[in-house]
């Protein structure tokens, strides 16, 4: 579309630094974008190729899909594609969206009626009739929601495509948020590999609602005060001869209510320990402690953020947290990462780990 090219050949505004910047930019071009979506023509080159770099300026790993939600409404759905640490960004981005006639902005891929679902990947079709499931019960981990889904056309040759198709089907069935928050583990196989009696996939939602309700009732009110906890200082030697130092809250690792804080967050800080056998020098050590103190000041145990300990080895400091939720913890640490980005390299990761198996080496 020539008019699209002409618009974007003009000198663009400055970089996108916040949600308001993004929506100001989008609002200036929304009429052109609407025409592209409405006509369903060249949507990649005339819409997505302009939208994607602007979202990248705002925050990495914001995904999206667009189409017509009715005769006169274009819908733009923002997704984190399961990246838990980015969920709060998607929610805040959509919450900040202005009202624009003809546009609907949606946070996350929504749930769909199972009767309307049919996914096609290459020559494979994923429909409710071809899918069943059973739950996997683990005596040592009773709160795990571990599901096996069987696919009628599953073979070893199409294992990857079958697994991907089932994941997409369940994602569309439950919605992006429910899929990420409720299911701990999902395995895909053929019907002959099932180890329990199979249940039609149409009953999966009801099963998951029951399990989630049971879990929340059991753990929602659990809190922990760590002021009087005992800590262990651990030392070891890596294969390369460098020392490993760790400080671990041993009382937390022995706690019998771990699933009440099911979101495990690891804050990773990279420093230069080349002159100190992989350990930080004095200046870096002080900076590491400053960063850790700032995180602890904002993420307190009684609010649902348990600092399990830290490990220092090979130019790397890891700080471990178990959290009751993942939105505030993500936002808090991201702000601190940005604050110190000119001084030191940092990143963080969040995943579901109801029994803190990430810490199994210390248990």
**DSSP for 232-293?**
EEEEEE-TTS-EEEEEEEHHHHT-TTGGGS-EEEEEEEE---TTTTTS--HHHHHHHHHHHH
Q: What is the pLDDT of residue 5?
A: 46
pLDDT score of 359: 97
For residues 168-185, average pLDDT:
96
Higher per-residue confidence, 318 vs 15: 318
Token pair in block for residue 165? 């198709």
pTM here?
Answer: 0.91
Beta-strand pair 305-313/263-270: unpaired
Kindly state the average pLDDT of the residues 187-195.
97
Indicate if the pLDDT at residue 7 is higher than 50: no
- Kindly give the interhelix angle for 87-95 and 327-339, rounded to the nearest 10 degrees: 90
pLDDT at 75: 98
Kindly list the structural domains of the chain, giving each domain's residue range(s) and its CATH number in brackets, ordered by start: 2-107 (no CATH), 114-219 (no CATH), 231-362 (3.30.70)
The CA distance from 269 to 260, in Å, is 27
**Band of pLDDT at residue 11, cut at 50, 70 and 90:** low
**What local confidence, expressed as pLDDT, does residue 13 receive?**
66
Angle at 135 (CA atoms; ends 130, 139), nearest 5 degrees: 160
At residue 56 the predicted structure's pLDDT band, cuts being 50, 70 and 90, is very high
Long-range contacts for 230-235 (Cβ within 8 Å, ≥24 apart)?
Answer: 231/309, 234/362
pLDDT digits (tens, 9 = 90+) for 319-360: 999 999 999 999 999 999 999 999 999 999 999 999 999 999
Q: Supply the pLDDT for residue 91.
A: 98
Residue 5's contacts (CB-CB under 8 Å, 6 or more residues apart) are none
């Amino acid at each position: 579309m020539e008019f699209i090219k002409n618009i974007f050949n003009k000198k663009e505004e400055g970089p996108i630094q916040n949600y308001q910047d993004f929506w100001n930019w989008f609002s200036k071009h929304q009429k052109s974008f609407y025409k592209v979506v409405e006509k369903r023509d060249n949507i990649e080159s005339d819409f997505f190729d302009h939208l994607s770099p602007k979202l990248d300026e705002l925050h990495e790993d914001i995904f999206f899909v667009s189409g017509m939600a009715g005769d006169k409404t274009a819908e733009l759905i923002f997704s984190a594609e399961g990246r838990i640490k980015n969920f709060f960004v998607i929610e805040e981005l959509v919450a900040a969206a202005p009202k624009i006639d003809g546009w609907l902005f949606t946070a996350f891929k929504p749930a769909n009626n199972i009767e309307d679902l049919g996914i096609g990947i290459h020559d494979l079709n994923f429909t409710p009739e071809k899918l069943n499931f059973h739950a996997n019960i683990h005596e040592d981990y009773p709160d795990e929601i571990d599901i096996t889904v069987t696919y009628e056309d599953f073979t070893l040759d199409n294992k990857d495509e079958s697994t991907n198709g089932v994941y997409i089907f369940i994602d569309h069935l439950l919605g992006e948020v429910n899929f990420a928050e409720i299911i701990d583990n999902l395995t895909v196989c053929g019907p002959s590999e099932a180890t329990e009696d199979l249940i039609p996939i149409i009953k999966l939602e009801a099963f998951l609602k029951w399990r989630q309700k049971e879990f929340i009732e059991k753990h929602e009110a659990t809190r922990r005060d760590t002021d009087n906890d005992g800590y262990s200082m651990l030392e070891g030697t890596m294969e390369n001869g460098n020392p490993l130092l760790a400080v671990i809250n041993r009382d937390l690792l022995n706690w019998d209510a771990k699933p009440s804080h099911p979101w495990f967050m690891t804050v990773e800080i990279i420093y230069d320990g080349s002159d100190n056998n992989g350990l930080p020098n004095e200046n870096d050590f002080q900076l590491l402690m400053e960063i850790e103190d700032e995180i602890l000041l904002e993420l307190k145990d009684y609010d649902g953020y348990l600092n399990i300990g830290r490990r220092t080895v090979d130019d790397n400091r890891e700080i471990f947290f178990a959290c009751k939720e993942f939105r505030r913890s993500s936002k808090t640490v991201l702000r601190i990462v940005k604050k110190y980005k000119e001084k030191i390299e940092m990143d963080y990761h969040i995943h579901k780990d109801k029994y803190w198996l990430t810490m199994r080496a210390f248990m």
